[in-house]
């Protein structure tokens, strides 16, 4: 319920039994040892009935016995004969990429296995502290360690149940599967903690409650948290005898298999609200956005089973006749199994003879648990030829490397580094079977004002160069010998990569082209009749005479004016047209930028962001300090799981529809999201609107279907299903919102709005919407209280602090030193972020290292992002997903400095170092582990910066202390809270 904030009666801590009393283990995320930069691909999984993955034990975890598991909790599936299913390979996760060989699987259960939830080891939100901020009339809401609302309509939670994998029957937990606490619970508490009002802001808000026990369709609504910042399962202190183990959040006992979990894991889909308003009037009144953040190819930890790959033969997957939704657990079989009624549109469709099966006494098919599409939230189908372009199966994709060899690129060392790295990296191209070499072909182009194509055919003694100087009409001068197999042409490719840096070592050419470079890669893929990816390494503004030529339009005087929006828009339409052609061919573009001055990222980024690609930016690139970050990003980018030539459609049940989409993609109509490439880090955010009333009995359904070509050239369909409850009471809506996902949606909405509105208007509309959300709650859901109290919903206590962080971000409120390129880069970066990444991006994590216990595997409790929390005698680690800062206080203890830097004197620390010395002491080793583990959780490699107190670099560091007032006029958290309170009171009066 809501709690008033007054100095007189601060809310108190929840009982100690609701959370573990020790901080989380640090290394649970790093499942594979980071022995080398390149991964060995995982062995194939066992068939569907028996596949039970081994659990990685390489990351240190707390030695604890698994909690008792009552046998009654795990119903037996009916014994039915079961056809073997092939399974998809484990998609490489961030840590898996550079690890050693992965563990093989073992068979021990005769039921579909359940992936387990291994959330991030680090608390997701800002941590508790003990100094209250006094405000006249307003007590600063101190967001609590998240705990669920007491209003769960599902069966009572227990502390011994293990949350099963979403979309599968439950399974006993194996020994050694100890997981950390849910990240969204924030740091653990002790029973002696200070009262809640003195706690610091943000812990992430809690997740959705359990679904009501309604008809079968509404039952499939147990949301299981599994990722940093994900909603935890309910924990109810009054029902649990002992505090739950870390990672063992309460889960309602299964009742004879009735409550099966048919929802996709939150790794794949996160919703802003898990209780949808029944009608549009209620949605409009609350102003809570209704959206889902979908990450279709999300990487999984090693102990989670990837979606099963099903082959339904030449006829392809079974679908509804009317709305074309794919077979899923929400389809109801009738007439003895001869027909099924669609859960989305209620149309009745005949069951094909080969798919027929009898129903049991409850009306379920007797093979329900043998078929992943009838019992799980996520699965894949192999697509038939009807799902392919021109009705023919696709060729395997190709990778083309396009390297800028102009003066700047050669001088800063980029050309030499790329060529050297590719010699090794080409052995690690994506593949599905580790025992078979990758069948991705590769090609090479270098360019400045003209383009150089290379023939690297295996039969040649030396590579041949062909120069195309007519960049106005781009063509590929050779077909045979341009795209080749790495293993066949290994010697010629290595010879070429050795020669490129030498050939251009003395170049004086400073001008470059850019448009023709992408055209060249596109034409090569067209000629080979395949999809693929272009890796473009580029250094400067393309000012040479050629299509797509740009001019420098950096004008700081426009910032803050009505014309500011033009700086985020592309300056020519050429790249929009080119992007459309790339999407049609399945040509994805990843852009690595090495600028020393303005390069117009807003324009150059159009093709990557429209094709599902990524942009990486290394301003003022210097090999000694930036090489490590660039190479790690490149290795991960080349190796990560990616689907080509993808089309995504989101279908919903009657009453709501998908109306708006955010992310890196192209749309030629209102329903299909087209992606030339879709990788494991990309999200697509979908907003829903009502077009009719919804029913509390049936709930609301959504199905995300992605058709794509795998890296082996196989056409596949990946399906994710989600059901949410519906409510007719505003209180139910507010109880089931998720603040992290709402902020992720607001950021994407705002960052797109700057293309058409001045940033001031965007900020004002965000504040207004937030005030309306909170005023609606105060008016309709909170108990009566004095107007001087600020009352926030339990799930949204952190909305103001996170909203303020977002409003102060460099895109919406830049400082004088923030370049236009950087703003455009961050705008494009956030558009594809998942919830966990946007969470730490807007509210960085700050760890006090002086409190680090080298004996334990736990992390020090994070502190709030404010300068007043920093001690002059301490050392702090701050990370935001893009950078890691190590802040050293001027009075830091000599022993601490000796352990970290190898010198006892503050004055002798070198602030230019980008990696810490590897010292032979426990503290140094533990700190190295933490940094490695933090990096492994993020999709981009974070460069380390050492910041000495009172040094000039401290200004950059202070920019990330987001609770303080910023130099460019952004409000402190306390001031913003007062402002929001004033806005809410105005709306209510």
Q: How confident is the model at residue 785 (pLDDT cuts 50, 70, 90)?
A: confident
Give the residue among 851, 865, 738, 875 at the shortest CA–CA distance from 801. 865
Cα end-to-end span (Å), the chain: 23
For position 781, which CATH number holds? 1.20.120.730
Report pLDDT digits (tens) over 601-614.
999 999 999 999 99
Query: Given a cut of 80, is residue 489 above it in pLDDT?
Result: yes
For position 412, which CATH number holds? 3.40.50.410
Query: Given a cut of 60, is residue 100 above it in pLDDT?
Result: no
Q: How confident is the model at residue 949 (pLDDT cuts 50, 70, 90)?
A: very high
Residues in the chain: 989
Verify that 349 and 410 share a domain, yes or no: no
* β-strands 715-727, 700-709 pairing: antiparallel
Give the residue among 419, 406, 588 at the shortest CA–CA distance from 496. 419
Report pLDDT digits (tens) over 753-765.
999 999 999 999 9
428 three-class SS: helix
Tokens of 245: 């183990």
Verify that 803 and 932 share a domain, yes or no: no
The answer to whether position 1 is within a domain reads no
**Cα→Cα distances 228→98, 736, 858, 947, Å:** 21, 18, 16, 27
CA distance 434 to 38: 13
| pTM for the full predicted model | 0.78
CA distance 885 to 954: 10
Query: Buried b / exposed e across 197-209, counting CB within 10 Å, b at 16+?
Result: bbbbbbbbbbbbb
Cα 307 to chain centroid, rounded: 18
Cα 100 to chain centroid, rounded: 24
Between 208-222, 344-358, 805-819, 935-949, the lowest mean confidence (pLDDT) is in: 208-222
Give the residue among 948, 983, 451, 490 at the shortest CA–CA distance from 769. 983
CA distance 929 to 926: 5
* β-strands 673-679, 642-652 pairing: antiparallel
Largest CA distance in the chain: 86
Query: Buried b / exposed e across 920-942, counting CB within 10 Å, b at 16+?
Result: eeebbebbebbbebbbbbbbbbb
CA angle 251, 254, 260 (to 5 degrees): 95
The answer to whether position 262 is within a domain reads no
* β-strands 700-709, 642-652 pairing: antiparallel
- Other beta carbons less than 10 A from residue 894's beta carbon: 11
Verify that 954 and 972 share a domain, yes or no: no
Domain that holds residue 750: 738-843+966-988
Query: Given a cut of 50, is residue 367 above it in pLDDT?
Result: yes
Verify that 610 and 742 share a domain, yes or no: no
Verify that 351 and 450 share a domain, yes or no: no
Q: What percent of the chain has pLDDT over 70?
A: 74
Tokens of 895: 């022993």
The answer to whether position 941 is within a domain reads yes
CA atoms within a 13 Å half-sphere pointing along the CA-CB vector of 150: 6
Q: Which residue has the tokens 């009393």?
A: 21
Verify that 600 and 463 share a domain, yes or no: yes
CA distance 399 to 536: 11
Verify that 818 and 894 share a domain, yes or no: no
Query: Given a cut of 80, is residue 938 above it in pLDDT?
Result: yes
Instruction: Return the pLDDT at 892.
Output: 93
Task: Could you list the beta-strand ranges (E) of 185-257.
Answer: none
CA distance 133 to 131: 7
Cα 157 to chain centroid, rounded: 29
24 three-class SS: coil
Which of 344, 377, 410 finishes a domain? 377
Q: Which residues contact 551 (CB under 8 A, 6 or more apart)?
A: 543, 571
The residue-averaged pLDDT of 124-141 equals 38
Q: Which residue has the tokens 């149940």?
A: 161
Which of 624, 639, 654 finishes a domain? 639
Report pLDDT digits (tens) over 165-215.
333 333 333 333 333 333 333 333 333 333 333 333 333 333 333 333 333
Tokens of 227: 């990722």
For position 330, which CATH number holds? 2.30.30.380
Give the residue among 500, 510, 454 at the shortest CA–CA distance from 477. 454
The answer to whether position 503 is within a domain reads yes
Split into its structural domains, the chain has a count of: 4
Instruction: Return the pLDDT at 79.
Output: 35
Verify that 404 and 440 share a domain, yes or no: yes
Q: How confident is the model at residue 899 (pLDDT cuts 50, 70, 90)?
A: very high
- Other beta carbons less than 10 A from residue 538's beta carbon: 24
Verify that 608 and 483 share a domain, yes or no: yes
Q: Which residues contact 180 (CB under 8 A, 6 or more apart)?
A: 24, 25, 28, 61, 118, 119, 120, 121, 246, 247
**For residues 246 and 25, is the Cβ–Cβ distance under 8 A?**
yes
Query: Given a cut of 50, is residue 636 above it in pLDDT?
Result: yes
Q: For residue 795, what is the DSSP state?
A: G
The answer to whether position 657 is within a domain reads no
pLDDT higher at 783 or 292: 292
Q: For residue 491, what is the DSSP state?
A: H
Q: Which residues contact 624 (CB under 8 A, 6 or more apart)?
A: none
For position 855, which CATH number holds? 3.40.20.10
DSSP conformation letters of 730-779 = HHHHHHTB-HHHHHHHHHHHHHHHTTTS-HHHHHHHHHHHHHHHHHHHHH
Verify that 357 and 412 share a domain, yes or no: no
Give the residue among 167, 328, 182 at the shortest CA–CA distance from 261. 167
- Beta partners for 737? 273
Query: Given a cut of 80, is residue 130 above it in pLDDT?
Result: no
Report pLDDT digits (tens) over 31-80.
333 333 443 333 333 333 333 333 333 333 333 333 333 333 333 333 33
Average model confidence (pLDDT) across the chain: 79
DSSP conformation letters of 527-554 = HHT--EEEEEEE-S---SSSTT------
Verify that 492 and 572 share a domain, yes or no: yes
H helix or E strand, kind and range, residue 986 = helix 973-988
Q: What percent of the chain has pLDDT over 90?
A: 67
- At 789, give phi and psi (nearest 5°): -95, 140
CA distance 333 to 694: 22
Query: Given a cut of 60, is residue 109 above it in pLDDT?
Result: no
Query: Given a cut of 70, is residue 104 above it in pLDDT?
Result: no
**For residues 397 and 531, is the Cβ–Cβ distance under 8 A?**
yes
Q: Which residue has the tokens 């606490």?
A: 181
**For residues 807 and 842, is the Cβ–Cβ distance under 8 A?**
no
The residue-averaged pLDDT of 883-891 equals 95
Which of 623, 639, 655 finishes a domain? 639
The residue-averaged pLDDT of 771-792 equals 91
CA distance 677 to 6: 52
Instruction: Return the pLDDT at 432.
Output: 86
**For residues 346 and 653, is the Cβ–Cβ distance under 8 A?**
no
* β-strands 441-447, 398-404 pairing: parallel
H helices within 917-971, ranges in order? 922-937, 954-958
CA distance 302 to 55: 7
The answer to whether position 19 is within a domain reads no
Verify that 824 and 862 share a domain, yes or no: no
**For residues 938 and 649, is the Cβ–Cβ distance under 8 A?**
no
Q: Which residue has the tokens 């579909």?
A: 112
* β-strands 105-107, 3-5 pairing: unpaired
**For residues 510 and 407, is the Cβ–Cβ distance under 8 A?**
yes
Instruction: Return the pLDDT at 562.
Output: 87
Give the residue among 644, 549, 545 at the shortest CA–CA distance from 590. 644
Q: How confident is the model at residue 261 (pLDDT cuts 50, 70, 90)?
A: low
380 three-class SS: strand
The answer to whether position 244 is within a domain reads no
CA distance 798 to 817: 29
H helix or E strand, kind and range, residue 801 = helix 799-807
CA distance 48 to 309: 9
Query: Given a cut of 80, is residue 10 above it in pLDDT?
Result: no
pLDDT higher at 111 or 676: 676
Q: What angle, rounded to 10 degrees, do the helices at 799-807 and 835-842 form?
A: 70
Between 368-382, 722-736, 806-820, the lowest mean confidence (pLDDT) is in: 806-820
The answer to whether position 239 is within a domain reads no
**For residues 149 and 735, is the Cβ–Cβ distance under 8 A?**
yes
Instruction: Return the pLDDT at 564.
Output: 87
Catalogue the long-range contacts made by 553-556 (C-beta closer than 8 Å, 24 or more residues apart).
553/600, 554/598, 554/819, 554/820, 554/821, 556/816, 556/820
- At 426, give phi and psi (nearest 5°): -65, -15
């Amino acid at each position: 319920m809501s709690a008033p904030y007054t100095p007189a009666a601060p809310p108190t801590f929840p009982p100690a039994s609701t959370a573990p009393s020790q901080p989380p283990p640090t290394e649970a995320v790093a499942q594979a040892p980071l022995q080398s930069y390149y991964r060995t691909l995982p062995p194939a999984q066992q068939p569907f009935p028996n596949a039970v993955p081994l659990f990685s034990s390489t990351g240190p975890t707390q030695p604890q016995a698994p909690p008792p598991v009552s046998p009654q909790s795990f119903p037996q599936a009916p014994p039915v004969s079961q056809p073997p299913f092939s399974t998809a390979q484990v998609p490489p996760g961030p840590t898996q990429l550079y690890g050693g060989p992965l563990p093989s699987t073992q068979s021990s259960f005769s039921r579909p296995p359940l992936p387990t939830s291994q959330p991030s080891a680090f608390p997701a939100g800002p941590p508790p502290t003990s100094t209250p901020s006094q405000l006249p009339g307003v007590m600063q809401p101190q967001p609590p360690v998240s705990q669920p609302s007491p209003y769960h309509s599902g069966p009572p939670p227990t502390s011994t149940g293990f949350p099963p994998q979403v979309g599968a029957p439950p399974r006993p937990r194996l020994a050694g599967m100890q997981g950390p606490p849910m990240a969204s619970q924030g740091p653990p508490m002790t029973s002696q903690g200070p009262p809640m009002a003195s706690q610091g802001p943000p812990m992430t808000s809690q997740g959705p409650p359990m679904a009501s026990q309604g008809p079968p369709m509404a039952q499939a609504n147990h949301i299981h948290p599994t990722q940093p910042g994900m909603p935890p399962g309910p924990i109810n202190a009054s029902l649990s005898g002992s505090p739950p183990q870390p990672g063992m959040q309460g889960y309602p006992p299964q009742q004879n298999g009735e409550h099966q979990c048919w929802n996709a894991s939150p790794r794949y889909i996160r919703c802003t609200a898990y209780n949808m308003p029944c009608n549009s009037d209620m949605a409009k009144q609350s102003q809570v956005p209704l959206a889902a953040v979908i990450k279709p190819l999300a990487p999984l930890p090693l102990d989670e089973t990837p979606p099963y790959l099903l082959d339904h033969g030449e006829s392809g997957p079974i679908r509804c006749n009317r709305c074309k939704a794919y077979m899923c657990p929400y389809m109801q079989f009738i007439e003895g199994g001869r027909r099924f009624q669609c859960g989305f549109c209620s149309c009745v469709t005949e069951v094909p003879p080969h798919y027929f099966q009898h129903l049991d006494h409850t009306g379920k098919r007797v093979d329900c648990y043998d078929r992943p599409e009838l019992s799980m939230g996520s699965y894949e189908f192999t697509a038939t030829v009807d799902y392919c372009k021109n009705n023919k199966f696709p060729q395997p994709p190709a990778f083309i490397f396009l390297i800028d060899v102009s003066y700047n690129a050669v001088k800063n060392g980029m050309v030499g580094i790329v060529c050297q790295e590719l010699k090794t990296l080409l052995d690690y191209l994506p593949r599905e079977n580790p025992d078979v070499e990758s069948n991705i072909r590769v090609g090479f182009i270098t360019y400045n004002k003209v383009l150089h194509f290379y023939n690297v055919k295996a039969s040649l003694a030396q590579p041949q160069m062909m120069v195309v100087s007519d960049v106005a009409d781009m063509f590929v001068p050779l077909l045979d010998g341009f795209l080749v197999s790495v293993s066949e042409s290994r010697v010629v490719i290595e010879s070429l990569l050795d020669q490129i840096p030498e050939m251009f070592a003395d170049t004086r050419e400073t001008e470059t082209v850019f448009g023709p470079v992408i055209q060249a890669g596109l034409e090569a893929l067209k000629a080979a009749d395949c999809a693929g990816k272009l890796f473009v390494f580029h250094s400067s503004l393309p000012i040479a005479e050629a299509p797509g030529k740009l001019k420098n339009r950096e004008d700081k005087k426009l910032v803050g004016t009505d014309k500011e929006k033009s700086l985020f828009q592309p300056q020519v339409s050429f790249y929009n047209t080119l992007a459309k052609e790339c999407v049609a061919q399945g040509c994805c573009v990843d852009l690595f930028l090495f600028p020393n001055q303005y390069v117009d990222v807003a324009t150059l980024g159009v093709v990557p962001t429209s094709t599902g690609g990524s942009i990486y930016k290394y301003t003022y690139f210097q090999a000694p300090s930036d090489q490590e970050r660039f190479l790690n990003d490149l290795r991960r980018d080349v190796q990560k799981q990616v689907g080509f030539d993808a089309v995504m459609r989101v279908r919903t049940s009657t009453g709501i529809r998908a109306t708006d989409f955010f992310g890196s993609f192209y749309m030629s109509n209102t329903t299909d999201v087209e992606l030339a490439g879709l990788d494991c880090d990309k999200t697509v955010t979908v907003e829903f609107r009502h077009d009719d009333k919804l029913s509390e009995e049936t709930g609301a359904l959504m199905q995300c279907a992605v058709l794509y070509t795998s890296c082996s050239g196989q056409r596949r369909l990946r399906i994710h299903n989600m059901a949410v409850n519906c409510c007719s009471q505003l209180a139910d809506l507010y109880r089931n919102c998720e603040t992290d996902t709402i902020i992720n949606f607001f950021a994407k909405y705002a960052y797109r709005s700057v293309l058409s509105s001045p940033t001031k208007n965007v900020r004002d509309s965000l504040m207004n919407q937030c005030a309306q959300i909170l005023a609606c709650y105060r008016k309709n859901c909170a108990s009566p209280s004095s107007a001087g109290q600020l009352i926030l919903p339990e799930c949204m206590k952190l909305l103001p602090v996170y909203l303020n962080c977002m409003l102060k971000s460099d895109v919406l409120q830049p400082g004088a030193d923030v370049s236009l390129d950087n703003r455009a880069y961050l705008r494009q970066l956030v558009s594809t972020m998942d919830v966990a990444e946007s969470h730490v991006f807007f509210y960085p994590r700050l760890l006090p290292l002086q409190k680090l216990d080298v004996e334990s595997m736990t992390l020090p409790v994070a502190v709030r992002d404010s300068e007043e929390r920093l001690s002059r005698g301490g050392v702090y680690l701050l990370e935001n997903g893009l950078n890691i800062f190590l802040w050293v206080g001027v009075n830091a203890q000599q022993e601490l400095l000796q352990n970290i830097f190898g010198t006892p004197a503050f004055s002798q620390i070198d602030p230019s170092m980008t990696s810490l010395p590897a010292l032979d002491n426990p503290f140094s080793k533990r700190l190295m582990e933490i940094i490695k583990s933090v990096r492994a959780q993020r999709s981009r490699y974070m460069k380390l910066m050492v910041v000495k107190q009172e040094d000039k670099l401290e200004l950059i560091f202070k920019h990330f202390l987001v609770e303080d007032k910023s130099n460019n006029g952004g409000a402190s958290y306390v001031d913003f809270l007062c402002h929001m309170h004033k806005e809410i009171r105005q709306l209510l009066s």
